[in-house]
Amino acid sequence: MLFAVLIAKPDTLDPVLAESLRTAWGGGSPRWLSLGQALEFPVMDVPGNFRAVWQDLQSMGVDLNLVPAEGRRKRMLLADMDSTMIGQECIDELADLAGVGAHVAAITARAMNGELDFEAALKERVGLLKGLPESVIGRVLAERITYTPGGRELIATMHANGGHAALVSGGFTAFTSAVAAHLGFDEHRANTLLAEGGALTGQVAMPILGRQAKVDALDEISARLGIGAGDVLAVGDGANDLGMLHRAGMGVALHAKPSVAAQCEIRVNHGDLTALLFLQGYAVEEFVAA
């Protein structure tokens, strides 16, 4: 059995629309997870017109996903950082302060869409930061980083239900350490920017944490916890996240790059990080405030 889950921005999900879809698909009893925002109902199989309906609902600002009923609530969260748990790409913010923002942002966009080799693109971008004062990292964290809504509630709720949360990023430990602490992650992994004499050297410590390293993190952490990949919820937006999104029991493409979203079954384009709780069947009344 599957659950059809409809998620929209607060107070925008039309009950009539939801009921007409449930009726058309012969779905079971509906349940509001958050009135006017998220609703679910069971279906026995994937409807033949699912993709067409999904596309129609996207134009209405509604995310529609089908998730298996069995093992729905996950025991581990594995999350990307840039443009997922936070609203920015940290390297782009550093580059902006180094005077090469537009150039680096263009490379980042292509790398995240899978058009460039991740490792080569990272080395090129970091090279352009050579000489930037290391203190700029603190300035970016204080002045430029915003958190995606729902992140702390997501982690706190999963913690309250026995879950573990790990942040894995192709970015840098100087940022993941602060972001992980702010949001309540249990651990974090990322690349290390090298500095000397208070300035960035334009190099990153090897080996570089890329797509495979995120898959390795999923396998290593889940094994340590004594759980399987099926117990993991992974979320990300870029091409370097695809490995972990496909390996996890529930892989969610959150506001993902077009080529990434096209390769993922579960997509969230309109909701925030609380959508990951709705997908697991948590009602808003079960959310834990961080």
**Which positions are annotated as active-site residues?**
80, 82
Which residues have a Cβ under 8 Å from the Cβ of 226 and sit 6 or more positions away?
Answer: none
CA 230 from chain centre, in angstroms, equals 17
Q: Are 119 and 208 in contact, with CB atoms under 8 Å apart?
A: yes
DSSP 151: H
The residue type at 217:
A
Which residue carries 């992974």 as its tokens?
234
Q: What are the start-end ranges of the H helices in the chain? A: 15-24, 50-58, 90-97, 101-112, 118-127, 136-143, 151-160, 173-183, 211-225, 242-247, 258-261, 275-279
